[in-house]
Amino acid sequence: MAVRGRPASSGDQDRAPPLPPLSERLRNGGYEAVLTTALLFGVATAVRWVIGASPVSRAIPGIHLELLLVGVLVGLLLAGLILSPLGHASGGHLNPAISLAMWRLGVFPGRSVLLYWAAQLTGSLLGVLLARTVWGPSVAMPPVSYAALRPARGWSNGMVFGVEGASMAAIIVLVGVFLSVQRLAPRVPWLVGGLIGAAIAGLGTVTGGCVNPARQFGPAVFAGQFGFLTAYLVAPLAGAVVAVWLLGRFHHRKVLTPRLCGHPSADAARDVAP
């Protein structure tokens, strides 16, 4: 008898999902690259018009309102990309930490993790390059600087690592909870968009609100800002590992799908059928 939202045993979490054909994995990796390109183009565009020298930025009184607007725009864009046909096909991760978490939760093949990472980081570079091509030198000039993030004055690598890692862990815990409950899973795109938008608005003047290695990789490379890059790249991955441990320790429900749109795979759909 099929069960709805059944508790996950350790065997469920450790069992690897079926490995898709190589052609399908390559196709989905290509989709992740396209999605991440669109995300970084959108991020750089939002920063260029809202925070850079533009009529929009001059009309907004203060950095906190600017960051709130950027957070809303990026959150809506992210939710839309997850819900797009390409997002449905690939899972709409757009974040190496999400791919790592889905693997450790037992719903995403481990052999696809490195492929997705390469696609996401490549998309990060391409998105920034596209923004530079479309918007010209204004993307490269301060305060935009290719949308590269810097922490507040006086912050160390360790402080950035701790805040970014804890933020990513909280996001993945919530995503994992929603993806383990059939009625909540379709709301994950809006959950992710809202949480990322909140991170941008709340942490923008502190760490920058990155919580995604792909979000910082391309901008940092183009801007030549490598001082905190290790923290921005590794902290979300560490947060993902901690989040998966917390879910396994305290939640005890199987995540139904690696797709952030909430649409389960065929195997998961059979598992939760009425």
Beta bridge partners of 155: none
pLDDT of residue 16: 64
Does some domain include residue 6? no
Q: How far is the C-alpha of 268 from the C-alpha of 200, rounded, in Å?
A: 33
pLDDT at 15: 59
pLDDT along the chain (274 residues), means of 10: 40 63 95 98 97 90 95 98 97 98 96 97 98 97 96 96 98 98 97 98 96 98 96 98 97 94 60 35
- H-type helices in the chain, by residue range? 10-14, 22-50, 55-59, 63-83, 85-90, 96-104, 113-135, 157-179, 188-203, 213-223, 229-246, 266-271
**Structure confidence at residue 119 (pLDDT):** 98
**What's the burial of 131, exposed, middle or buried (CB within 10 Å: 0-12/13-18/19+)?**
buried
pLDDT at 252 (0 to 100): 87
Structural domain of 118: 21-271
Number of domains the chain contains: 1
251 part of a folded domain:
yes
The CATH number of residue 182's host domain is: 1.20.1080.10
Q: Does residue 109 lie in a domain region? A: yes
Tracing tokens 């004055």 back to the chain, one arrives at 153
